[in-house]
Amino acid sequence: MTIRAALAALSVLAFLSTPTHAETLEQAWAQAYQTNPGLAAKRSELKITQEQITMARTHWQPTINAVTGIGKLYDDTPNNALLPASDSLTPRNFGVEVVQPIFRGFRTIEETSAAQKQAKAQYARFQAAQQRLFLNVAAAYLDIVRDQAVVDLMRHNQEVLDQQLQETQKRLEIGEVTRTDVMQAQSREQGAKTALVQAQGQLADDRAAYLRFVGTEPSLLQSPDIKFDPPQSEEVFIDSAVTKNPAVIAASYSKDQADNETGVSKGNLLPELNLVGSATRSWEQSEFIPGRQDEERVMLQLKIPLYQAGADYSQIRSSEHKSVERRMELEDVRLAVKQEATSAWQALTTARSAAASDQAQVDAASQAWEGVCKEAKAGTRTTLDILNAEQELLVAKVALVQAKRDEALAIMQIKASTGALTADALCLPQSARE
């Protein structure tokens, strides 16, 4: 078997071992949503926060306790003719106590509202975590598509330069070129090998990043068809980002939660009213009541705080400072989102302009390469001219691939700025979100 036949057989085996199905970006997102451990941790954190609402609402409900006890009583009453000098009793009882809160200084209302705001803020953070994950998945996906195309370009360039070297060596034998032309062709051919190895190494790094975020090795990835309805203007887009970005929504709910917690602190200074009911059955409570005793009681219990070492006032001041902190954080997040939105818009504008320019450059470089090849056959161009034309065409094609990747990623960043890169907004299959 010749070397060429062996290489052909290896190529066939490699093709057969390659997955025949193509994986889409939406499938990668769905897989990451289900399996990414970082997002799973955020999902559990969201469930923990939602339980805070249930715990806050329990203050509306009564508490019921069963109470029982048993002990030993020694009664020694000297100089009492009616009772023995000393006696021993075994008092015991059991009963039920019910406490129904009626008024807690508005703390129950504020605690429930604070828990609801906390849950909404955490849900917004969960959406922000989704968007960060989906952006990372998209970046890794697009990097693989880009670098696979670059590897193909580098491999094709090496084949072209190999052929060019062989043709130059043949022309040297018949005296059409000098040995310098051969060295130039050989130098470019060796450089192409190095560039191919570097491109393959970068592709391996991309595949490792994809595995980290998605949880599976990438198969044959399709170039994504991204649907995008651009905003009317940059101003409209930025205004939408400042109001719809999950980070802004989370900070806004956190500010409202801090306000409710201030109300809880102030409620500690107000009276507390409870309805208390109890039913108790006792035995041998004293020498005067040696038998069984039953008691039922219903009371309104009012608790008025008078002085508690100043702790409540300190807590109120602390809560008010926290409200100011959350308000300032909200303003800072809005400014940060505005900056990110502006950067995303400019990145998209730049990438689209670069893609158009690179496409024109590829067209021009292709025509130039064809012209140089024809002129070289006519003897008016040198080997170096051909090599330079091939290099310019390769650089233009690589730049075009990069520009398309940058444009697609900029679209993803714009969607994320307005909260449109979540599982719900992307309409991922319901099975992927369960």
pLDDT surpassing 80 at residue 23: yes
Cα gap 31→49, rounded to integer Å: 25
Q: Which residues share a beta bridge with 289?
A: none
In the numeric block, the tokens 């690589």 are attached to 398
Average pLDDT over residues 395-418: 92
Least confident of 5-14, 49-58, 87-96, 352-361: 5-14
Three-state secondary-structure class, residue 99: strand
Taking alpha carbons only, the member of 83, 82, 66, 65 closest to residue 74 is 83
- Of 356 and 21, the structure prediction assigns the larger pLDDT to 356
Q: pLDDT tens for residues 300-351?
A: 999 999 888 888 889 999 999 999 999 999 999 999 999 999 999 999 999 9
- For residue 155, the number of C-alpha atoms closer than 13 Å in the C-beta half-sphere is 7
pLDDT score at 78: 61
- Of 141 and 221, the structure prediction assigns the larger pLDDT to 141
Average pLDDT over residues 362-385: 84
pLDDT score at 10: 34
Q: pLDDT tens for residues 80-112?
A: 555 554 467 888 899 999 999 999 989 999 999
What's 63-103+272-304's CATH class?
mainly beta
Whether domain 23-61+105-270+314-433 has CATH 3.40.190.290: the reply is: no
Q: pLDDT tens for residues 352-373?
A: 999 999 999 999 988 988 898 8
pLDDT surpassing 60 at residue 235: yes
- Of 13 and 148, the structure prediction assigns the larger pLDDT to 148
pLDDT score at 370: 87
Inter-residue contact 315 to 105 (CB < 8 Å): no
Inter-residue contact 255 to 330 (CB < 8 Å): yes
pLDDT surpassing 70 at residue 15: no
Three-state secondary-structure class, residue 375: helix
CATH 2.20.200 residue ranges for the chain:
63-103+272-304
Which amino acid, residue 332? D
pLDDT score at 433: 54
pLDDT score at 380: 77
CATH 1.20.1600.10 residue ranges for the chain:
23-61+105-270+314-433
Q: pLDDT tens for residues 156-206?
A: 888 877 877 777 787 777 877 778 878 887 888 788 888 889 999 999 999
Q: Which residues of 270-303 are buried (b: 16+ CB within 10 A; e: fewer)?
A: eebbbeeebebebbbbeeeeeeeeeeeeeeeeee
Q: pLDDT tens for residues 261-277?
A: 999 999 999 999 999 99
Q: Which helix (H) or strand (E) holds 97?
A: strand 92-103
